[in-house]
Every structure is written in C-alpha cells, then in structure tokens.
C-alpha cells in the first residue's frame, strides 16, 4: 500500500505547530471547522446523543461510540481529510482510524475526567505514534470541561491503565509526574487539540448550564496489529493475536 504524501495537505500546518507537538505531545489548532460546520456537526451530535445507546453514562461523561458508522454528518467529521492529514503530519507516520467517540459532559456533571494516558487501554502491538483529535463542538472554557495536558511525556511508555474516575491514580502509578506543570487549553467551537496516546491528560468537570460537546477521532499507526486484548472496537470481530486491523472497520486515512 502506498504511503500518503504527508508533505502536501489541504490544511496548511506550519512547521512550528509540528515542532511544538513533537516537543510537548499535544497541540492546539484553532479554527479548523467553520461556523457552519460547527452548527451542522453539533446538531448531529445532539440528535445522536438523544437516540443512540451510550457506551458509558458514568458522571464523568456520556460516551457514544463509533458514531461514524450510523450518522452521515458525523461520518464526515470522523473521516474528515483535513483532520486526518493534520494527524498524519503530527504523527510523522501513516495512520488509520481506531475509533471515534462523542464525549458529552452534562451540565453540572460534577466529575472531572482524571489524568490518564490512552494507549494503555488499547489492544495494539507496535503502536508508536497513535494520537487523538479532540474537536470542540461548542465553546469549551475552563469551567465547561476543557482539556489539560502534562507536556513532554509522550515517550513515557511504562504506565499501567489508570482509573479515570480517580484523581490520584496516575500519581500513584507514576509518582514523579506529580510535580510536572499542567497546561490547560480553553477552546472555541471549531478549535481542536491533538494529543499523543501517551500524553497524560484530564478534562475539568462541566460547571456550566450547557452541555460540553466533544467529538474525538482516534488515529493509530497504520501498521499496528491486534494484541488479543479486550476492547469494544474489536471484541465482535473475531481477530486473533497478531492480526492486522481490517481496513473496513479501521479505515486508512486520509483517503
């Protein structure tokens, strides 16, 4: 399979942004979606939230999983070529979709998403540069549940899966991280952040009267293989340890 040309992209990402991502393990890219796109995708998110089964409805967030499979508008957002192109440039390797999910914090949900890395939850072998794109479909100021990152830790690969309901768990697993600086990034609707699957991150509770609407696309190294572990994205597929991820379920992007 030919590798995508990661030097030409419809969305111009400057060298400073790529360099910042490579140093910090996350980056803020403003104004990726237009106001019209935000309005359309937000309406779709509200529609899907009202009708589709929630994978997790813990206070921390409502998680609605694999929305690209059922909703034409959200499919466009998940498979969006600009977002996938930015992810490819940041990763520096070809990627494929792992899964998407909407993460909706209800008004006054009273729970932060506590610090964790993402990769330890996933059943992948040979992942090196996997990353997430977190799309704000509403303004997300600090008090509505924006993201906070611990910079410069994306090569840290020794941390176990963390309980994201437990504020102390990451620091129990990795006590040295307790003294690292936190970087909190409020987003305007249409802004995105990208974060490495190994960058520790959290999100504040939603202390406002409005929902926090976030749509997350997760990209993994295109040549990652399944390691036999449990996960809702793979449990129904009958994959064996060592199998490649099938293209129809985990599409190579951009396409």
Ligand X SMILES: O=C(O)CCC(=O)C(=O)O
Query: By C-beta, is 4 or 123 nearer to ligand X?
Result: 123
Query: By C-beta, is 4 or 117 nearer to ligand X?
Result: 117
Residues in contact with ligand X by the rule CB under 6 A: 61, 103, 113, 118, 132, 134, 201, 203, 214, 216
Query: By C-beta, is 71 or 118 nearer to ligand X?
Result: 118
Measured distance CA(217)–CA(254) in Å, rounded = 12
Name the minimum Å distance from CB 101 to ligand X. Answer: 8
Name the minimum Å distance from CB 102 to ligand X. Answer: 10
Query: By C-beta, is 97 or 203 nearer to ligand X?
Result: 203
Name the minimum Å distance from CB 103 to ligand X. Answer: 4
Name the minimum Å distance from CB 178 to ligand X. Answer: 19
Name the minimum Å distance from CB 134 to ligand X. Answer: 5
Query: By C-beta, is 185 or 224 nearer to ligand X?
Result: 185
């Amino acid at each position: 399979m030919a590798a995508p040309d990661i030097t030409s992209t419809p969305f111009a990402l400057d060298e400073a942004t790529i360099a910042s991502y490579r140093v910090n393990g996350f980056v803020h890219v403003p104004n990726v979606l237009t106001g019209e796109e935000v309005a359309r995708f937000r309406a779709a998110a509200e529609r899907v939230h009202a009708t589709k089964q929630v994978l997790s409805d813990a206070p921390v967030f409502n998680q609605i999983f694999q929305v690209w499979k059922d909703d034409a508008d959200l499919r466009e957002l998940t498979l969006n070529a600009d977002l996938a192109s930015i992810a490819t440039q940041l990763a520096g390797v070809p990627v494929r979709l792992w899964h998407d999910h909407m993460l909706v914090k209800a008004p006054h949900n009273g729970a932060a998403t506590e610090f964790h890395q993402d990769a330890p939850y996933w059943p992948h072998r040979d992942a090196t540069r996997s990353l997430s794109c977190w799309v704000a479909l509403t303004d997300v100021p600090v008090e509505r549940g924006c993201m906070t990152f611990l910079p410069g830790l994306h090569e840290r690969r020794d941390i176990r899966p963390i309980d994201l309901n437990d504020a102390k768990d990451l620091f129990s697993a990795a006590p040295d991280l307790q003294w690292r600086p936190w970087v909190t990034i409020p987003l305007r609707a249409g802004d995105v952040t990208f974060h490495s699957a190994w960058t520790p991150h959290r999100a504040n509770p939603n202390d406002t009267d409005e929902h926090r609407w976030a749509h997350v696309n997760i990209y993994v190294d295109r040549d990652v293989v399944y390691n036999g572990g449990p996960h809702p994205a793979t449990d129904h597929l009958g994959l064996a340890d060592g199998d490649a991820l099938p293209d129809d379920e985990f599409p190579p992007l951009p396409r």
